[in-house]
Amino acid sequence: RMQSSRSKPCSCPSLKLREVASMYFTMVAAFLVILVVALQGSVPRESDFPYKVPLDPQGLLELSWNVSYPEQAVHFQLLVRELRFGLLFGMSDRGEFENADLAVLWSDGHNSYFGDAWSDAKGQLHLDSQQDYQLLGARRAPEGLYLLFRRPFSTCDPKDYLIEDGTVHLIYGILEKPVHSLQAINISALHGGLQRVQLLKPNISIPELPSDMKTMEITAPDVVIPSQETTYWCYVAELPAGFPKHHIIMYEPVVTAGNEALVHHMEVFQCAAEFDSFPHYNGPCDSKMKPDRLNYCRHVLAAWAMGAQAFYYPEEAGLAFGGPGSSRYLRLEIHYHNPLVFKGRRDSSGIRLYYTATLRPYDAGIMELGLVYTPVMAIPPGEDNFILTGYCTDKCTQLALPAAGIRIFASQLHTHLAGRKVVTVLSRDGRERQVVNADGHYSPHFQEIRMLKEVVAVFPGDELITTCTYNTEDRSRATVGGFGILEEMCVNYVHYYPQTQLELCKSAVDPGYLHRYFNLVNRFNDEEICMCPQVSVPQQFYSIPWNTFNRDVLKSLYAFAPISVHCNKSSAVRFPGEWEKQPLPSITERLPEPVPHCPPAPGPQPAVPVPLKLGELRRD
């Protein structure tokens, strides 16, 4: 109540004085910034910015950053290796240059300026009335120009991007010509692009590592990266014969120097134990030469994506590999992103596993949550945010989890190309208790195993509800669930301990109720949809005329119809019990929406760009 009374307009003379003082201090601060910028300053230590990612495929722009949770701010260091006439750096919902939140450095050839800007729906730039990208310094070094600036997570400025957990789409653009003002910058003529990162890394203390720790590198054998934009490369490695059971306790990327901008993500999978041997394949994953048996190498041991650091297991758990009942064969998969189509680049990147023979108290396990891979779950075409939900029910956790529960410490979200958001929520007694993992700007092109900020305890009788949001505006026919890249998935692979027999806890709509939906659509529409049993579910979906009635009824069906629950052991066998036509879990109490924390307003700051003393900028 005090706060609201304080914000009422007040005619006290002291306010005028406060305004004058505030403007004076703002001018002093601006002068100090210019002074800092003009100085060559000491080099910030690399440890000050632990996270690093190349922004562009040539590696001319390199971003480093750190996260301060007490300050609720991110500090950025941008290294510009070849400065022309300035650059744009910023964030937007999905990497577009329209409706973006930007920090801009520009020059007219003589004077340089830095400012916080935004772009409108047409891509026109405007200086922001609230300057929230705060310049901390600029420094020339032999390798290029360093720009240091900070930005609060949340600014409560409607023109600004809210930095939150999950994926952030960073955008960049290089100014090739001098410009006389910010408004004169033409976004469509820029040399620019986007890079996805998880900006808000969890602040995790690194567990103590044992003295008998060993390392093993699973790396590509000096591969020539194909001269095309996208390649998935597969390589089969083998553990030594008689390799006993060990625990993987951490892993990190090994990226060949010079290829940092090309190696997009990497995964190591263990092959299925039921086969004695696997062919030693080394080649593109989509090649006709790839042996079919490699499709049985799907058990994830490690996954890394650009910008990610080392992954640590909690000190009481490790991921078991080796020993009886475990395959000696591993498959490395590397996604090369080569948009500039470099030829003849050689690569030996991969993942370094750190493991110990001194087993920790618990084996870690991986459990699949979300939707079963089935065409009964479908998304109509032309939808901008269609929601599908998969349930791990109380009945399944009651049966399969130990009384002391399990602890989820990491999560990897997964959809195909139409996925836009994914969230898993823990619910107990019908009340949502905790978000397990959420990504409101999810991209299928950026999937990494993320350590959670806090471990989530799940007990028998709890429910884990995974919701995916899809966009099919660019599609002309229904998108069904399935394994194909143009089909869809909604999965959260959660990493937890102690390992249980439960490997998969997912759901899909009851097929009988879907059949009733097709019957209803048939009765309401002039066009005949063949309901004959020989017509597959995808064919029936493809023949539906997608008017608003058929769309809305499908949404209602998914929100109300009973479900088929897959409560499966690792052998793909269901736990004993009745799993068909199960009621949808009912939620009586939702978690409140998080309220953005607004930093205290520093007083009326003049919306003026900060001049920089960078000397004259010229074309090379």
Gap between the Cα atoms of 264 and 255, Å rounded:
10
The phi and psi torsions of 152 (rounded to 5 degrees) equal -65, 155
Residue with tokens 């119809």, as numbered in its chain: 561
The phi and psi torsions of 500 (rounded to 5 degrees) equal -120, 180
User: Which H or E element spans position 37?
Assistant: helix 13-38
Three-class secondary structure of residue 138 per DSSP: strand
Residue among 203, 191, 138, 128 at smallest CA distance from 161: 128
- Cβ count near 401 (within 10 Å): 22
Q: Single out the catalytic residue among 232, 296, 513, 542.
A: 232
- State both tokens at 446: 């950026």
- 92 has which bridge partners? 169
Query: How much is the CA Rg of the chain, to the nearest whole Å?
Result: 27
414: annotated active-site residue: yes
Please check whether residue 187 is in contact with residue 117, taking contact to mean a CB–CB distance below 8 angstroms: no
One-letter identity of residue 299:
H
Q: Any residues with CB less than 8 A from the CB of 203 and at least 6 apart, and which? A: 67, 69, 453
Q: Any residues with CB less than 8 A from the CB of 298 and at least 6 apart, and which? A: 269, 272
246: annotated active-site residue: no
Please check whether residue 78 is in contact with residue 51, taking contact to mean a CB–CB distance below 8 angstroms: no
Q: In which region does residue 307 sit, left (phi positive, over 0), alpha (psi from -120 to 50) or beta (all else)?
A: left
- 321 has which bridge partners? 246
Gap between the Cα atoms of 65 and 45, Å rounded:
12
Please check whether residue 116 is in contact with residue 133, taking contact to mean a CB–CB distance below 8 angstroms: yes
One-letter identity of residue 222:
D
Please check whether residue 418 is in contact with residue 470, taking contact to mean a CB–CB distance below 8 angstroms: yes
Q: Single out the catalytic residue among 51, 126, 337, 414.
A: 414
- 51 has which bridge partners? 65
Gap between the Cα atoms of 18 and 307, Å rounded:
44
Distance of CA 526 to the CA centre of its chain: 44
Gap between the Cα atoms of 541 and 375, Å rounded:
9
For the chain, the farthest-separated pair of C-alpha atoms sits apart, in whole angstroms, at 86
Gap between the Cα atoms of 330 and 485, Å rounded:
24
Residue among 577, 435, 538 at smallest CA distance from 492: 435
Gap between the Cα atoms of 390 and 406, Å rounded:
20
Q: Which residues are catalytic?
A: 232, 414
